[in-house]
Amino acid sequence: MVTASFTGFIRTILIIIAVYYLFRFLMRLFAPMLIQQMVKKAEQNFNNMNQQYNQQAQQEQYQSQSRQQSTKQMPEEKKKVGEYIDFEELD
């Protein structure tokens, strides 16, 4: 059976503190680069979405223009009520 010693406890606490400060130091070095990469990726996604939206808007505009042109070219039909039937009276 292994018993805990006071020096082992102090050593463990010092290792935890050293790892904590090393992590903080490394984050101060690499965090700006990581954030910059995330911002670039978000900007790229935004630009892609904006391009897709613009393409869809242009397609819809083109389609609406072609519909307007096709309706202008076709003569308007008169409203059909029904056929006219001439009835004759029988005696």
Structure tokens that stand for 88 in this block? 């004759």
The residue assigned the tokens 């490394």 is 26
CA-to-CA distance for 85 and 62, rounded, in angstroms?
Answer: 46
Q: Helix H segments across the chain? A: 6-73
Is the pLDDT at 5 greater than 70, yes or no? yes
Q: Is the dihedral of CA 71, 77, 78, 82 positive or negative?
A: negative
Structure tokens that stand for 47 in this block? 């630009």
CA-to-CA distance for 1 and 90, rounded, in angstroms?
Answer: 124
pTM of the model: 0.47
Please write the tens of the pLDDT for every residue from 59-73. 888 887 777 666 555
